[in-house]
Structure 1
Amino acid sequence: MRTSNPSLNSKTFERAAPGAGAMTIEGTVNKVGILLVLMLIPASYMFSKVLNAWDPSAALATAGMSAIGALIFAIITIFKKTWAPVTAPIYAVLEGLFLGAISGVFNQAYPGIAMQAIALTMGTLLTLLLAYRTGLIRATENFKLGVVAATGAIAMLYLVNIVMGFFGTRIPFIHESGMVGILFSLFVVVIAALNLVLDFDFIESGAEMGAPKYMEWYAAFGLMVTLVWLYLEILRLLAKLQSRD
């Protein structure tokens, strides 16, 4: 198995110690649903606060702190998989606070953009899940290798951009609303979406291998990481498109 999702890799299930129960696809889907609810509740709260004329700077500050907290619990979850039943829900709540605040700020600038991004994210998830289950898209080794390579290149580009930010500059064009910026965002959205296929394959393989029950929470957490990335990239793409109007 190969996946570019840092929380789901080919050694995850091999290192897992046998548990009292076995991981199932149905159980993982249920855990994904729970994490989505835990994410949506604080996200809705933060989003409504921003819409009710909350200071955007305060919203961004809250988003930043929540993002740091989510990152910390994500790292803990990755290195302590047995803690996933506790750390994954905490990650979902913190990520929800971040997404709600940042979505509200975007929505203030471009009314309706948050709902559009949510609809496109869920639509992409369901479409790719259907394509995967029906065999229209297969996670072959070449497919996995291509997605992993593209994801790694994007990660390196973002890392370089962050480092450049410390010196008061950034990579030109890719963050702008010109054609290059839009095409770049579209490419990133496609790669983020294709990571879902790798995650589906990983979850299915884990269930077939009879991984311990707590891995349902861990696998659900991994899928949520991809969904959050996909949503944010769709949000950025829509913002670029609307800024051209």
Structure 2
Amino acid sequence: MRTANPTLSAFGRPQTWADAHGRKSLADTNANVMTIGGTVTATSILLGVCVAGAVVSWGLASSATYAHLSWPIGIGGMILGLVLGLVITFKPTTARFLSPVYAAAEGLFLGVFSFFVGNAVAAKTGAEAGAGGLQIGHTLILQAVTLTFAITAGMLFAYASGIVKPGRVFRTVVMSGVFGAMLFFVVALIMSIFGNNTLISVYSPTNGGMISVGFSVLMVAIASLVLVLDFEFIASGVKAQAPKHMEWYAGFSLLVTLVWLYIELLRLLAKLRSSD
């Protein structure tokens, strides 16, 4: 099967992994194949590591003593996460070992990013950047995290109940949206390098204009729909009796989508707060 999440491209195989590797190989025992329970465990561990990393970097950013370390750590986490993400995507067998490191790196980045958003909104609304930024940041983070898990639960229910069925048209539309968003970002980035910030401005958490807010709503919608394809990917992997390491790969892939959704929700909430 195929999904809109670029990391979820490992299943393009007919029948099952057991058919591909022989009936007496990985498919012979549940200890060696992908299961729903194992995938949930892997995903939970990765989420826990990511949250822990975010708490650490948020603490550094909000500390008068170690605040100067927050940006290097945040940027370093972003770069490390990007590199590890590419490695895991093209080499799924590394997911068991590298995905926890990826989760920690993403957490470090998210903590600093969230702190930056809180301070930016505080400055835009006239609040004090320090205490005001922390208060606004706490509020925005709580709202974004709550919405992220609420949307995830809602999309899981919609998928499990058959309300949303990831057919060919559905996949095509979502994939087009994802790659369109990626292309837009690349074009906006290139334009900004040459001094034109018209497109890149829609990513600013303090841009409360209608077009900017509408763009964030669209990004949230696309990320939410990708969750359905993530669930389908996991179900297909279990059905195909994929090898055990694919539990970690699936958890990593789901984490990628959840991080994206959280970032877009945080940015959207910040824009709405800035427009008040």
TM-score tier by shorter-chain length is over 0.9
What secondary structure does 2:57 align onto? helix
Verify the 8 A CA contact 1:77 1:83 in the aligned structure 2: yes
Verify the 8 A CA contact 1:63 1:99 in the aligned structure 2: yes
Equivalent position amino acid for 2:247 in 1: E
Residues 173-208 of structure 1: CA distance to partner in whole angstroms, max 9, x if unpaired? 634321011011101100011000000001100110
Confirm whether residue 125 of structure 1 aligns to residue 156 of structure 2.
no
| CA drift at 1:77 | 0.7
| Partner Cα distance (1:153, 1:76) in 2 | 23
Match of 1:96 in 2: 107
Match of 1:9 in 2: 9
Instruction: Decide whether aligned partners of structure 1 residues 87 and 10 sit closer, same or farther in structure 2, where only a CA change above 3 A counts.
Output: closer
| Partner Cα distance (1:220, 1:3) in 2 | 15
Match of 1:228 in 2: 259
| CA drift at 1:10 | 5.7
| CA drift at 1:6 | 1.1
| Partner Cα distance (1:236, 1:56) in 2 | 22
What secondary structure does 2:202 align onto? coil
Q: Where in structure 2 are the equivalents of 1:136-155 lying within 5 Å?
A: 136-155=163-182
TM-score (norm 1): 0.93
Verify the 8 A CA contact 1:32 1:221 in the aligned structure 2: yes
2:39 to 28, 36, 41: 28
Q: Where in structure 2 are the equivalents of 1:1-245 lying within 5 Å?
A: 1-9=1-9, 11=11, 19=26, 21-53=32-64, 58-110=69-121, 111=136, 112-172=139-199, 174-175=202-203, 176-245=207-276
Residues 69-110 of structure 1: CA distance to partner in whole angstroms, max 9, x if unpaired? 011111111122111110111100101100111112222344
| CA drift at 1:2 | 2.0
| Partner Cα distance (2:71, 2:94) in 1 | 29
Compare 42-51 and 56-65 and name the one that shifted more.
Answer: 56-65
Verify the 8 A CA contact 1:174 1:181 in the aligned structure 2: yes
Verify the 8 A CA contact 2:208 2:275 in the aligned structure 1: yes
| CA drift at 1:28 | 0.5
| Partner Cα distance (1:166, 1:57) in 2 | 26
| Partner Cα distance (2:189, 2:51) in 1 | 28
What secondary structure does 2:5 align onto? coil
| CA drift at 1:13 | 5.7
What value does the CA root-mean-square deviation take over the aligned residues? 2.0
The structure that has the greater radius of gyration is 2
Residues 126-147 of structure 1: CA distance to partner in whole angstroms, max 9, x if unpaired? 1111111111111111111110
Residues 204-223 of structure 1: CA distance to partner in whole angstroms, max 9, x if unpaired? 00110000000000011001
| Partner Cα distance (1:229, 1:71) in 2 | 13
| Partner Cα distance (1:63, 1:46) in 2 | 7
